[in-house]
Amino acid sequence: MASLFRRMLHGTFLTLFVIAAALSPEEVEADVVIIGGGSSGTYAAVRLHDLGKSVIVVEQDDVLGGNTNTYVDPQTNITIDYGVVVFHDILVAQNYFNRLNIPFAIAPMGSYGTTTFANLKEGEVIANFVPSNPTNALAAYGAQVAQYPGLGAGFFLPNPVPEDLVMPFGQFVQKYNLGDAVQIIAGFAQGYGDFLEQMTLNIFMGQGLQVLESMQTGFLIPVHHDNHEIYDNAFQVLGSDKVLLKSKVVSTNRSFADHVEVTVQTPSGLKVINANKLVMAIPPKLDNLVDFDLDGTEQSLFLQFVNTAYYTGLVRNTGLPENTTYQNVDVAAPYSLPDLPGLYGLGATAIPGLLDVKYGSQTAFFDDAVKADIIATIIRLRTNLGIQTDEEPEFVAYNSHTPFRLTVSPDDVKSGFYDKLNALQGHLHTFWTGATFDTPDSALLWNFTETLLPLITA
């Protein structure tokens, strides 16, 4: 009887203990807490770890990697990178891949199968399409970019900001007669929305000297074609207890003199992280930062961002011929650029019959609308090609990478927006990295993030 009572009492204590543990958040200490485990956040975490700092990464998704998406074919285990594919052959990328045991080679950015040009809006193959020869125009474009060495890592603009940098790229192309280079530059600028309307500054940032060099000498490409391996290996290096997946920041307090306090909802309960420094590696849109204690300066800057939209996926059962890549062109449009919102193209992959789809828009759509438009485009093309089939195209993978490009207006740029943005580094113990602070290009973002490390570790 007594022992039964004791057991009941013990059970009650245990229950109370468990409830109390669940109610009082776990306290965690770290040198640096990093929000966002995509390209920049994971790089920052691995580098800081290797510099002897303790780090915690907070990632809302169930994996690290951000824009890096790898599909594993269940039948063959063939991997297809339908997100980030290629990198630049620069020292920071080589060092990072060596650190993470990722074998790589230098090669041109390939595509599978044969390329056919088509107007995918109309569903018509353009059999006689001849792309312009970009050689001379690319050289002239490169000479223009080279005038702005401050755009190498981060937005460091001349003062006053030259008109050339803030004019729409379409106008810049006309001014310097660069038309023959537009198609190839735009091909490396997927996700930029209305390409010719983008400010020249944003094209220079994204398609700068390093991109031109890689076009000529080759990209750095992991030989396994399994870019998720980068993030799997980084996860191992950091340790599973240092990476909080499926986790959301609930609140932050950065008004202490010497540290920040970040409260995070994780699958195993609330954690309060006390850290010396905070690294933000997520898109700084206000709606993504509602749970952060932004001050007036941060709010007034982030309020100004508008964003484009970019979607990627893999589709099977298309009924289209195997090993054929369709590049979307609109011969009636300037420089034959594809009509958006719409597909950039349908790309053959290492798995015959599986098509890589890339879809872009100036503004965001619901995923269902994007998917429906992609399926309709495939059916329109095959119908016009006279292909008789009742195969139903089906997504085997799909990801929205929206918001993609965050930009501000020419007037904002002229009135010193990027000087004010750069001045946020270190403010309130917080450092900012990611595509918005440099460019959506993984290797260049690692290089940019590297420039912040001395400040973060100071």
Ligand X SMILES: *[C@@H]1O[C@H](CO)[C@@H](O)[C@H](O)[C@H]1NC(C)=O
Taking the complex as a whole, how short is the minimal distance between the CB of residue 439 and ligand X, in angstroms?
9
* Sole window of 32-40, 42-50, 250-258, 381-389 interacting with ligand X (rule: CB under 6 A): 250-258
- Binding-site member from 138, 230, 445, 456 for ligand FAD (CB under 6 A): 445
Residue 3, contacted partner among ligand X, ligand FAD, none, CB below 5-8 A by kind: none
Residue 3 phi, psi dihedral angles, 5° rounding? -70, -35
Residue 47, contacted partner among ligand X, ligand FAD, none, CB below 5-8 A by kind: none
Residue 428, contacted partner among ligand FAD, ligand X, none, CB below 5-8 A by kind: none
Q: Does 90 bind ligand X (CB under 6 A)?
A: yes
End-to-end CA distance of the chain: 64
Q: Does 435 bind ligand FAD (CB under 6 A)?
A: yes
- Binding-site member from 444, 445, 452, 456 for ligand X (CB under 6 A): 444
Q: Does 384 bind ligand FAD (CB under 6 A)?
A: no
* Helix (H), strand (E) at residue 457: helix 442-457
* Sole window of 18-26, 53-61, 139-147, 342-350 interacting with ligand FAD (rule: CB under 6 A): 53-61
Residue pair 398/311 in contact (Cβ under 8 Å)? The answer is: yes
Distance CA 53, CA 457 (A): 8
3-state secondary structure 407-422: ECCHHHHHCCHHHHHH
Residue 338, contacted partner among ligand FAD, ligand X, none, CB below 5-8 A by kind: none
Distance CA 212, CA 77 (A): 34
Q: Does 36 bind ligand FAD (CB under 6 A)?
A: yes
Angle at 227 between CA 430 and CA 153, to 5 degrees: 40
Q: Does 125 bind ligand X (CB under 6 A)?
A: no
Specify the amino acid at residue 126. I
Residue nearest to ligand X (CB): 152
- Binding-site member from 51, 85, 153, 387 for ligand X (CB under 6 A): 153
Number of residues that bind ligand FAD (CB under 6 A): 34
DSSP string of 77-132?
--EEESS---B---HHHHHHHHHTT--EEEE----SSEEEEEETTTTEE-TT----
> 């009135």: which residue's tokens?
415
3-state secondary structure 339-364: CCCEEEEEEECCCCCCEEEEEEECCC
Q: Which residues bind ligand FAD (CB under 6 A)?
A: 35-41, 58-61, 66-67, 83-87, 191, 248-249, 281-282, 288, 310, 312, 401, 434-435, 440-443, 445
